[in-house]
Amino acid sequence: MNTSRNANPLKGTSDEHYTPSSIFKVLNVIFDLDVAAPSGGGNAPALYYFDKEADGLKSKWWGNVWMNPPYSEPTDWVMKFLDHRQGIALLPITRGKWWDRLWNESDAILPTAYNLKFERPNGEPSKPITFRTALYAIGETNVTALKMSGLGRIR
């Protein structure tokens, strides 16, 4: 487990993107654990994090989690998130088989802006992504965070 919150100055692989800081500001949540952080910890407001080296899929999760997993292979991440039952995840809206379970078991879902831009390690925005994403919340604290965020209408 890593505990340092310093951002890695190097660009990561194509799966390593930072969640826009603006999302964290309006959610106003300090998470216990970022389960799929970029190398070096990323920018999520979490007390602890698992990056590739710590392997969040093999590690035990605790408390309220933040999850922005690798979109190239999200299935195992989504299943573990749903089994954990406490957190917020940023994931694509997709036709993947895992998405039906995520839709049915999330306590609240908030689609993100159509022109969402992830951040690079230096804080600069990347190009807009080409697919829609949403915030998926499980647990009362996280549902309230989505409701109070002003990011849009939730289901």
23 phi and psi angles, rounded to 5 deg: -65, -45
Angle, CA of 63, 66 and 72, to the nearest 5°? 130
Whether 35 shows a pLDDT value over 60: the answer reads yes
Contact 87, 108 (CB under 8 A): no
Q: Which residues pair with 91 in a beta bridge?
A: 134
Whether 14 shows a pLDDT value over 60: the answer reads no
Q: Is the pTM of this model over 0.85?
A: yes
Whether 13 shows a pLDDT value over 80: the answer reads no
Whether 15 shows a pLDDT value over 70: the answer reads no
Structure confidence by residue, pLDDT tens digits, 40-73 = 888 999 999 999 999 999 999 999 999 999 999 9
Position 128 confidence tier, pLDDT thresholds 50, 70, 90: confident
Contact 123, 134 (CB under 8 A): no
Contact 34, 52 (CB under 8 A): no
